[in-house]
Amino acid sequence: MSVAATALDELQIDALREVANIGAGHAVTSLSALTDRDFRMSVPSFGVVALHEFAAVVGHMEEVAAAVYMPVEGDVSGHVAFLFPFDCACRLCDVILCREPGDTQRLDEMECSVLAETGNILISSFLNAIADMSDLRLPSAPPGIAVDMAGAILASIAAASPSLGDHALTIMTRLADREQPIEGVFVFIPEPESLGTLLRAIGLER
Amino acid sequence: MGQAIMVGMAELRVTRGSGDVLVALGLGSCIGVCAYDAMAGVAGMAHVVLPASVEGAGEAPGKYADTAVPALFAAMKKAGASPSHMLIAIAGGAQLFQFGGQVARLDIGRRNAAAVLQALRVQSARLIAEDVGGTVGRTVSLRCADGAVVVKTLGQGERELATLVSARRAELARAA
């Protein structure tokens, strides 16, 4: 059953936000364990964003960002991505590679591979949490990585959806480390035909 | 006073304002189609997201290559442009994400480029410059004052891709 993102009621939006909240909570726990730092997350913001405004949701479109993206193809299909501003991605590499703060200045093959693997772990935690809760399968394809303009990255992810409507449902969570600012955004875009499946699985049949 | 007119995903904009600049920020796999009629002073841009429209979807015409190009031409004509004077440049269609060394997956950029080129052929459009494909995002702008198309990327900064004015017309302008 395909559900238009614009047709969701408040209860359903709350439920989806809670699903994302639990998923992101697991991802943050993984990241904290991986880096031995104390990452916190915001309450997920939930938006039905018109396509022409879509790429601006992360802030400045031309700001350089690093993103790890994994398409999800199972009972629920969609797109999950982790975006970090460039300087935050460098700081994350410092932490994971046990470098001195400020050592990572470029995101070359080594750093990209570290970010891809980190993203893979976080996104898998996110998806596993949702799968456990809903009893649905959410297998993901291997991660892709990009370092480019934030707007171009988000637009490319949106365009990867074959059934992309004029609006995209996006659930975003910000995470930040308290000691040193490492901030990232978690973006989850379920395919329209998966929204109904997800809502049914969590007991909110339409 | 001129202004920067943002052309978001799936949007299509046409202007006659001589000081205006049409801008598509952060094109990844999307393609910015720039059209300009120097005689009429009309500039237009479409921000194409996907190659082909789904039948009966009734969505924004700017979203798909096969509907965006004819819609752009129609909007340009309505604003006073003549198809025979219109010159075209396109930019975008990159594949940003690298999947473990292979880039084959989800190569929408390449498909978008092919679909835009096909749609331009159908319109017998005069495409004079293209900057498509590759792995980097682009911002593309079109200046209504002189038809200059500028492409900006992270690595290389800004560069002028083309000026959408015919050689003969540019010569006349220089002589005048």
The tens digit of pLDDT for each residue in B41-76 reads 999 999 999 998 776 556 788 999 999 999 999 999
Average pLDDT over residues A114-129: 91
Using an 8 Å Cβ cutoff, are A86 and A146 in contact? no
pLDDT given for residue B175 in this prediction = 73
Which residues from chain A sit within 8 angstroms of residue B52, using beta carbons? none
pLDDT given for residue A196 in this prediction = 83
Instruction: Report the C-alpha gap between B111 and B31 in whole angstroms.
Output: 10
Which of A55, A69, A145 has its CB closest to that of B26? A55
DSSP one-letter string for B15-28: E--TT-EEEEEEES
pLDDT in tens, A45-72: 777 777 777 777 767 788 899 999 998 9
pLDDT given for residue A1 in this prediction = 47
Q: Do B49 and A153 touch (CB under 8 A)?
A: no
pLDDT given for residue B151 in this prediction = 98
Nearby residues of A150 by Cβ (< 8 Å), 6 or more positions away: A55, A58, A59, A60, A61, A62, A63, A64, A65, A67, A83, A85, B26
Q: Which of residues 14-33 of B touch A (CB under 8 A)?
A: 25-30
Residue among A120, A79, A72, A80 nearest A96 (CA): A120
Which residues from chain A sit within 8 angstroms of residue B47, using beta carbons? 52
Within 10 angstroms of residue B71's Cβ, the number of other Cβ atoms is 18
Q: What is the pairing mode between strands B21-27 and B4-6?
A: parallel
pLDDT in tens, A176-188: 887 767 888 888 8
Instruction: Report the C-alpha gap between B135 and B29 in whole angstroms.
Output: 9
Q: Do B9 and A51 touch (CB under 8 A)?
A: yes
Q: What residue ranges of chain B have pLDDT lower than 50?
A: none
Asked if the C-beta of A76 comes within 8 angstroms of chain B's C-beta atoms, the answer is no
ipTM above threshold 0.90: no
pLDDT in tens, A140-157: 888 999 999 999 998 898
Confidence band (pLDDT; 50, 70, 90) for A175?
confident
pLDDT given for residue A47 in this prediction = 73
pLDDT given for residue A86 in this prediction = 93
Asked if the C-beta of A52 comes within 8 angstroms of chain B's C-beta atoms, the answer is yes
Helix axes A10-35, A109-134, angle to 10 degrees: 130
Higher pLDDT, B148 or A43: B148
pLDDT given for residue B57 in this prediction = 59
Asked if the C-beta of B108 comes within 8 angstroms of chain A's C-beta atoms, the answer is yes
Average pLDDT over residues A83-103: 91
The reply to whether the predicted model has a pTM over 0.90 is no
pLDDT given for residue B156 in this prediction = 87
Residue among B135, B113, B133, B19 nearest B69 (CA): B113
Q: Which two tokens mark B162?
A: 């083309």
